[in-house]
Amino acid sequence: MKEHPEERISANLQENKLFLQERFGDSLDFYSKDLTLGQVSCCIVLFTGLASPEKLTVMALSLLEQQNETFQNGARLCRYLLRQSRIPTEGTPITTRTMLVERLANGLAVLLIDGCPCAVGISTQEMPQRSVSNPGGEGNMHGPQEAFTELLRNNVSLLRRQFRTDSFVAELHISHTHAKTEYCLCYDRLRAPADTVAALRRRLEKVRLPVLLDSAYFASFLKQDKLNLFPAAAYTERPATACARICEGKVAILVSGSPFAMIVPSFFSEHFESLDDYSSGAVFAGIIRLLKYIAFLLSVFGPGLYVMALTYAPEMIPIRLLGTLAQAEAHTPLSPMLEMLTVTLLLEIVREAGLRAPKAISHTVSLVGALIIGETAVSAGIVSVPVLTMAAAATVATLAVPSLYEQSILFRFAVILLAGLFGVPGFACGALLILAMACGSDPFGYDYLYPLMPPCRASVRDGFVRTIWSSLARSEEEGRL
Amino acid sequence: MKREAPNLFAALLLGLFGNIVLSSQIGYFARTGILLLPVSVAILTVAAWGFSFGWRMLGQSPIMRWSLLALLAMSSALEILRLWRLFETAYPDGMNMLGICLMIVVPVIYLRRVSSIAQTANVVLAVLILACGLLVVSIAPQLHVSNLQCAPFDRTEVRTTLWAQLILYPELLLPALWPGSARFGKHTFLRLVGWSLMFSAAVHLLLELFFGTDAIRQENPLHTAAQSGALSIFNRLEWMQLILWTMVVTIKLAVYLYAGVRLMGGHACKSENNAVGLDRFPFYFALMLFLCALWRSADIGTLTAIRNILMGLYAGMVILGGGIRWLLSPDTRPES
């Protein structure tokens, strides 16, 4: 694209200074200092807090003072800085005002040179940052215990140090947002299918957003069917997990300012996997994984099945249990469906309040919600104990697969409503809707249910359960995308 | 696993299994069915392959296309009505026709892509096989070998069995409509016919072991058998059966809708995966509701028999017409 003449950096230092003064003159963190190098007038500009004046002095200015070169014009100084000096400058000169602003925002110090229509960026970044800490939302007993932070380059380095090969690629892109946020596609060149990477690159390139604060903002743009509620991508805050996925041939998307990596393509079975699965024994890991599948089914279908059984199909419940349930239901004024909806809603409100409330009072909120309201509702005869038990069991089961939390809640409400209003066909409709959604997600042309369906050797190798490591290692080639 | 072209084999097989468990699990004894299996498989395979061949010759004709479309619409409505009747038997006054229509048609919205139909059919097929196993286990104590028939064969029994096995269901004809149908060999049809008839024979064998001579007199024998099944956590299992039947019928409808869209000339190979546009659903739902309301009080058995005859005649016409055209104009012979 041809540059606009006004976009170019002027050879006149005063014009460039004026431009920056107009843009950033009022900013507290904008720093500029005039200086003369040899016989050339220059100006150093930077943002304090992003770039360090101390680093600049040590790394650049003191080195320049030691040089015996006498620069007679700006062009020669620029060429010297870019090609000959030991000062850590960027390899390419800054030629446009947009580049100038971007480099300043990236934490570089920029040297504007009189008589030269380009500037030189010097790497003196020093940004306030959170240190690498433990992941808060992905509990694991074994394996690495470090998490991504908000700094994109730090996150890339956390991935890079896991790959001691030349095949790891970290592609930097700038999003089409007002803030021009950076994002990075990380993948293994030898393992990630080139067409998948190209398709992803193309789709992300088309994304137009007002603001990009997290990689999750991209998710809806990657969905083929917008009506589908299953996530189009998986998220992790663990570099180790991201690294494992990259080794499987997937792509990790890191966004500047976000401590989460988005992994694409993502499959349904991945929500039931964790790093611990591969650290613990195969039998135990297999049982835990099966339990997670059962927990997901319980969280989605349990309350709906209860409502359907009690309202429309009591014949399916064994007689003794039916007697107990009927006795409990006889004392409550609401229908099983309304009861279940009320309790489920209440539990969600308690959860949301506990999550959003300040930490100091979140325990109180949980206590009041769970114990006092629950206990009083039962004592007052508003809800029955079996309904409360089922709703609580479903809520706890949801937490066994936290990455599908949103879907579990939405599906649970839908199944309760359908089963409560239409009975057995309603339940069937709900189940098929969920199944069709799962089967309808085909991220980048891959089956979302792979390797679970259609049943194959991979289903038991690392799907419903996981096999022993020696077998996994043998089949590693097949497991790749 | 990357998918180059979604395969609808499981969806078609599921549809055929659905026909067997929902409508044709009566009428003959297992031994006759097993005996006639090779003959029926051979005849149906040749018919399905012949239709596929004939369709390539005559498929562009609007009359042929709209006739098949009408037959598919009729079949879809019949499936809904049959399921509604079954629900009415199991849960009297529990569900009206509008509700059933809604519950069956709504999930089709999420089954409008070929990949979605194919994958969902795979899952439902796996669940159906598991559930069938569970149902068999639950009624195992009531299966008696002494119930098997050992009276000499008679002609009527053989004729009834042959007619029951030789029904040309739409699922056997639909592969002719799929993109790249010319590549399908006889083995595709052979597998489809073979599995469905073997499943039919197995179902009949189980019913005979359960009911004995009463098997052919039962109206909904599978449902009655499921009512007798019990596991420790569930008293009866017919609800599970009904849930599965509903899923099977929905997938059948999704396959018919996809075939219908192709018959109307929609979506050639370029965007094949996006089979049905969302904008067509209100019309589709209204059509299903209208047809169901129209045949609400009709005898489903009679309507199904009419549909089967019409389907057979239609297939015969395509096979004959295609054959004649192939013989008369050698230029139109397909490359394959």
Q: Where are the domains of chain A?
A: 5-122, 152-266, 280-445
What's the whole-number average pLDDT of chain B? 84
The DSSP 8-state label assigned to residue A59 in this structure reads I
For A456, phi and psi rounded to 5 degrees? -150, -175
Asked if the Cβ–Cβ distance from A440 to B3 is below 8 Å, we say no
A interface toward B at CB cutoff 8 Å? 193, 225, 227-228, 308-309, 312-313, 315-319, 322, 418, 422-429, 431-433, 435-437, 439-440, 442, 445-451, 453-455, 481
Choose between B318 and B221: higher pLDDT. Answer: B318
Lowest model confidence (mean pLDDT) among A395-399, B74-78, B228-232: B228-232
Q: Do the domain assignments include residue B2?
A: no
For chain A, give the longest Cα–Cα distance: 100
**Could you give the CA distance from residue B118 to residue B193 in angstroms, rounded to a whole number?**
18
Separation between Cα atoms, residue B263 and residue A22, nearest integer Å:
66
Let me know if residue B4 belongs to a domain. Answer: no
pLDDT at residue A435 in the model: 92
Least confident of A48-57, A413-422, B223-232: B223-232
CA B313/CA A2 separation, integer angstroms: 69
pLDDT digits (tens, 9 = 90+) for A145-184: 888 988 888 899 999 988 888 889 999 999 888 888 889 9
> What value does the mean pLDDT take over residues A234-262?
91
Q: What is the pLDDT of residues A419-428, one digit of tens each?
A: 999 989 999 9
* B79-to-A229, A426, B100, B221, B284 alpha-carbon distances in Å: 29, 17, 11, 18, 15
* CB nearest to B1's CB, from A228, A426, A450: A450
First to last CA, chain A: 36
Chain B residue at shortest CA distance from A308: B239
**CB-based burial label for A280 (10 Å; 0-12, 13-18, 19+):** middle
List the domain range (segments joined by +) for residue B169: 9-332
Backbone angle region of A38, left / alpha / beta, with phi > 0 → left and psi within -120 to 50 → alpha? left
Q: Which residues of A touch B246 (CB under 8 A)?
A: 424-425, 428-429, 432
Q: How far is A50 from chain B (nearest CA, A)?
A: 44
Cβ contact, residue pair B110, A193, below 8 Å: no
Chosen for mutation from B103, B125, B257, B285 (greatest number of chain A CBs closer than 10 Å) is: B103
Question: How many domains are contained in chain B?
Answer: 1
Write out the two tokens for A63. Answer: 């080195």
Check whether B77 has a pLDDT greater than 90.
yes
Q: Which of A319, A439, A457, A459 to mutate to test the interface with B (most CBs of B within 10 A)?
A: A439
CB contact under 8 A, A315 and B235: yes
Is pLDDT above 60 for B25? no
Q: Do B235 and A318 touch (CB under 8 A)?
A: yes
pLDDT score of A337 more than 90: yes
What is the rounded radius of gyration, in angstroms, for the C-alpha atoms of chain B? Answer: 20
Q: Do B113 and A445 touch (CB under 8 A)?
A: no
Q: How far apart are CA B250 and CA B244, in angstroms?
A: 10
Quote the pLDDT of residue B211: 83
A186 CB-near residues (< 8 Å, 6+ apart) = A156, A159, A168, A169, A170, A171, A242, A246, A251, A252, A253, A254, A261
Query: Quick one: how far is CA B149 from the chain centroid?
Result: 28
User: Is residue B26, in this structure, part of any structural domain at all?
Assistant: yes
What pLDDT does residue A25 have? 81
| pLDDT bucket at A85, cuts 50 / 70 / 90 | confident
Mean pLDDT of A429-447: 87
**Higher pLDDT, residue A474 or A148:** A148
Sign for the CA dihedral angle at A149, A154, A160, A161 comes to negative
For B103, which residue in chain A has the nearest alpha carbon? A429
* Cross-strand partners of A31: A46
Predicted confidence at residue A449, as pLDDT, reads 85
* Interface contacts (A, B; CB < 8 Å): 133
- The enclosing domain of B26 has a CATH number of 1.20.1740.10
The minimal CB distance from A425 to the residues B100, B111, B120 is found for B100
Flag if A429 and B234 touch (Cβ within 8 Å).
no
Does residue B80 surpass a pLDDT of 90? yes
Position with higher pLDDT, B247 vs B25:
B247
**pLDDT tops 80 at residue A414:** yes
Query: Looking at beta carbons, which residues of chain A come within 8 Å of B119?
Result: 439-440, 442, 447-449, 453
pLDDT at A31 over 80: yes
CA of B101 vs chain A CAs: smallest distance (Å): 10
This prediction has a pTM of 0.84
Please give the residue that has the higher pLDDT: either A302 or B238. A302
Is the pLDDT reported for residue B335 higher than 70?
Answer: no
Q: Which of A333-337, A470-474, A475-479, B26-30 has the lowest mean pLDDT?
A: A475-479
Q: Tokens representing A366?
A: 């949980």
The predicted pLDDT at position B3 comes to 56
B301: distance to nearest CA of chain A, Å?
Answer: 22
pLDDT of residue B140: 84
pLDDT of A382: 83
Cα-based distances in Å from B171 to B72, B174, B176: 10, 5, 10
Q: Considering chain A, what percentage of its residues have pLDDT values greater than 70? A: 97
**Whether residue A68 has pLDDT greater than 70:** no
The nearest CA of chain B is from the CA of A440 a distance in Å of: 4
B interface test, pick of A301, A435, A460 with most B CB neighbours within 10 Å: A435
Q: What is the pLDDT of residues B286-296, one digit of tens each?
A: 999 999 999 98
Percent of chain B with pLDDT over 90: 31
**Mean pLDDT calculated for residue range A96-101:** 90
- Select the residue of B103, B115, B236 nearest A429 (Cβ to Cβ): B103
pLDDT band, very low/low/confident/very high, at B269 (cuts 50, 70, 90): very low
Whether A436 sits inside 8 A of B111 (CB atoms) is yes
How far does the CA of residue B145 sit from the closest CA of chain A (Å)?
Answer: 28
Closest CA of chain A from B93, distance in Å: 11
Q: Which of A228, A423, A455 sits opposite B95 (nearest CB)?
A: A423
Distance from CA of B294 to the nearest CA of A (A): 22
Which residue is associated with the tokens 């996997």? A273
Is A1's pLDDT higher than 50?
A: no
In angstroms and rounded to an integer, the radius of gyration of the C-alpha atoms of chain A is 29
Token code pair at residue B51: 């239709």
For B187-204, the pLDDT digits (tens) are 888 999 999 999 988 888
Say whether B118 sits in a helix, a strand or coil.
helix
CA–CA dist A52, A127 (Å, integer): 8
Higher local confidence (pLDDT), B121 or B152: B121
**pLDDT attached to residue B274:** 59
Does the distance separating the beta carbons of B1 and A422 come in below 8 Å?
no
Choice among A264-278, B20-34, B95-109, B126-140 with the minimum mean pLDDT: B20-34
Residues of B with CB under 8 A from a CB of A: 1-3, 10, 83, 87, 90-91, 94-95, 99-100, 102-104, 106-107, 109-111, 113, 115-116, 118-120, 122-124, 126, 232-237, 239, 242-244, 246-247, 250, 273
Residue A224 pLDDT exceeds 90: no
Is the pLDDT reported for residue A275 higher than 50? yes
pLDDT value for B266:
66
- The C-alpha atoms of residue B135 and residue B124 are separated, in whole angstroms, by 16
